[in-house]
């Protein structure tokens, strides 16, 4: 397949492009830093710095849209919120325009989203039919999804990737957490009751390929393992996998003044279940947290 990937040099995207290349796909990576594409993939993947390179006569079988600035790293000022919107909704709008102008449309458009669309939902099971919440993160995800849906009217199958906490030791949340836990400074967040819906990166990539290759799959999908856990359980399991103890607690009152609206990302949670994937026969290789941490390279 000829596939266009945005966000192809990030923690998830880089691993995805490598998987696509390994299976023989022809991959073009859209990146603001095309030199990094060459550094990572050499001549195996083509690098574009702008969507203007997608001329109407250029045909892709699929588009995978993973672009998006990190959501928790910086304060949510008005300017930062606009950057977050532009890096998600803006690029998605540009992709829709390019698809519309293409003489031959791609068969499928996989477009990013996140389980944050549900807001803080306590311990209630969140399937893909659940409504979007009204906090900033939820609205951002909802607008991101709405930007992708016009591809359906162009005859393109659309899958919305409601991503949970993707885990592997070489990046993402887990890489940031390992050092403090190894030093015995790992801590529970608040009362630890908030639910963490996680997924091993291997299963995440398998799910993407499953959605890519199965024409009956369309609509929103929770890309999460079937066994979400509380922050209390996650903290204890990670500490155990590192042969450490985690007695500390980071109280919400200490971080909320610093994080502001972003505190919902740490002290809120969603019990997002992969109902759509399971209903279509997708099998997780790492359905439990302990096995996932062992395989993810935590040591």
- State how far the Cα of 167 lies from the Cα of 291, in Å rounded to an integer: 12
Convert the pLDDT of each residue in 137-175 to its tens digit: 999 999 999 999 999 999 999 999 999 999 998 888 888
Residue 299 has pLDDT above 70, yes or no: no
Q: What is the pLDDT of residue 297?
A: 64
Convert the pLDDT of each residue in 235-282 to its tens digit: 999 999 888 888 899 999 999 999 999 999 999 999 999 999 999 999
Q: What is the mean pLDDT of the chain?
A: 94
When pLDDT is averaged across residues 42-54 and rounded to a whole number, the result is 95
Q: What is the pLDDT of residue 284?
A: 97
């Amino acid at each position: 397949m000829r596939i266009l990937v945005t966000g192809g040099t990030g923690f998830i995207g880089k691993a995805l492009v490598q998987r696509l290349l390994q299976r023989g796909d022809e991959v073009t990576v859209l990146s603001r830093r095309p030199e990094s594409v060459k550094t990572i993939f050499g001549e195996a993947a083509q690098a574009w710095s702008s969507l203007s390179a997608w001329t109407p006569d250029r045909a892709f079988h699929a588009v995978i849209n993973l672009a998006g600035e990190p959501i928790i790293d910086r304060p949510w000022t008005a300017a930062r919120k606009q950057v977050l919107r532009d890096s998600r909704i803006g690029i998605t709008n540009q992709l829709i325009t390019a698809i519309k102008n293409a003489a031959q449309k791609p068969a499928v458009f996989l477009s990013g989203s996140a389980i944050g669309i549900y807001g803080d939902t306590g311990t209630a099971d969140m399937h893909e039919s659940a409504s979007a919440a009204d906090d900033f993160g939820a609205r951002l995800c909802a607008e991101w999804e709405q930007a992708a849906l016009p591809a359906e009217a162009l005859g393109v199958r659309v899958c919305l990737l409601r991503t949970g906490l993707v885990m592997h030791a070489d990046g993402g949340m887990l890489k940031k957490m390992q050092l403090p836990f190894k030093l015995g400074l790992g801590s529970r967040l608040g009362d630890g009751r908030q639910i963490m819906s996680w997924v091993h990166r291997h299963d995440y990539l398998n799910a993407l390929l499953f959605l890519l290759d199965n024409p009956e799959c369309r609509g929103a999908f929770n890309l999460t393992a079937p066994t979400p856990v509380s922050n209390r359980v996650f903290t204890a399991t990670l500490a155990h996998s590192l042969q450490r103890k985690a007695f500390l607690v980071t109280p919400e009152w200490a971080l909320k003044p610093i994080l502001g609206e972003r505190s919902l990302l740490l002290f809120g949670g969603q019990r997002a279940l992969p109902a759509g994937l399971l209903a279509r026969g997708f099998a997780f290789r790492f359905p439990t947290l302990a096995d996932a941490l062992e395989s993810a390279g935590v040591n």
